[in-house]
Amino acid sequence: MAATGADAGQKFKIGHVLAKGSQFSEAVRVMNEELERRTAGRYSIEEFPASALGDGKAMLDGVKLGTIDMVMSSSGGALAQFNTTMGILDLMLLFRDEAHVDLVLDGPIGDKLLESFKPLGVVGLAWGENGFRQLTNSVRPIKTPADISGMKIRIAESEIYKKAFESLGAKPFTLPFAQVYPALKNGQAEGQENPITTIVGAKLNEVQSHITLSYHTYAPAVILINADAMGDMSPDDQKALQEAAKLGGKASRKFVRERDAKGLEALKASGITITPTAEFDRAGFEKALAPFYAESSKVFPMDQINAIKNAK
């Protein structure tokens, strides 16, 4: 049985994998404030950060089963496994910039992707953000596909990420995040890819000499609730929850983008060599990724991929 608002004293439990004070925390904070205000205190949200309710997969399964009320989950391994439709968002060079992201996710395409959770017994409430991923390494500036060929790059645990980097001729491998710094320091990994905020927060620039502002993969986040838990709310309270979640999602985007801007200034001050976006041969990378997109189109129809890539 789903844990309803009434069962939990009208308090929904939400879990996520990031630390307290992260972009996901900011989303939960704003969402809770808005929900309490809009329902005159009838509903509130209690945060369980840093995988307190289990890892990403466990929390997604918990929301599906109703043992957890809500989860905020980023795209990548666990979410794409939970809902294969979401895998399309993991494709490399799918999004141009933040404005493109907002246009897609806040429009009909984003709404349709949220609706794809319904058959799983879960309601997709809103989109949040984890951020654009950038390339760092200790070998050379990465401007063209040839620059990445043969490079040992640590990637997130995603089969889609793996196939993309292999198409570029790199040697991608997965490793728990806690082991990334020492792996870069001892040469087990020559490069890695993460949002600027993560790179600065984990001090990866101390063991990397180059960063390319590649914006090669975007990681959205989604706020989900068990369908039965939401179904127990009145229509007005359901609307209040959806509105609160959308504001929470927007707060996470604002948080990430402001923190990335500050992080970039910190990187400039650190002395790492920065290759700007203008020097990243995006067209060359897109051409090199043609086999990857051809294979991906067997899972995600090319018209859907192009609808996202060409949205204006």
Above 70 in pLDDT, residue 243?
Answer: yes
pLDDT bin (cut points 50, 70, 90) of residue 50 is confident
Among 8-22, 31-45, 63-77, which range has the highest average pLDDT?
Answer: 31-45
Contact assessment for residue 76 and residue 38, using Cβ atoms and an 8 Å cutoff:
no
pLDDT for 5:
42
Percentage of the residues of the chain whose pLDDT score is greater than 90: 87
Distance CA 173, CA 129 (A): 24
Under DSSP, the state recorded for 147 is H
pLDDT for 177:
83
Tens digit of pLDDT for each residue in 132-182? Answer: 999 999 999 999 999 999 999 999 888 899 999 999 999 999 988 889 999
Above 80 in pLDDT, residue 98?
Answer: yes
**With a threshold of 0.95, does the pTM exceed it?**
no
Task: Name 290's Cβ contacts closer than 8 Å, sequence gap at least 6.
Answer: none
The beta strand positions in the chain, using DSSP E, are: 11-15, 44-48, 70-74, 122-137, 152-155, 171-174, 191-194, 210-226, 273-275
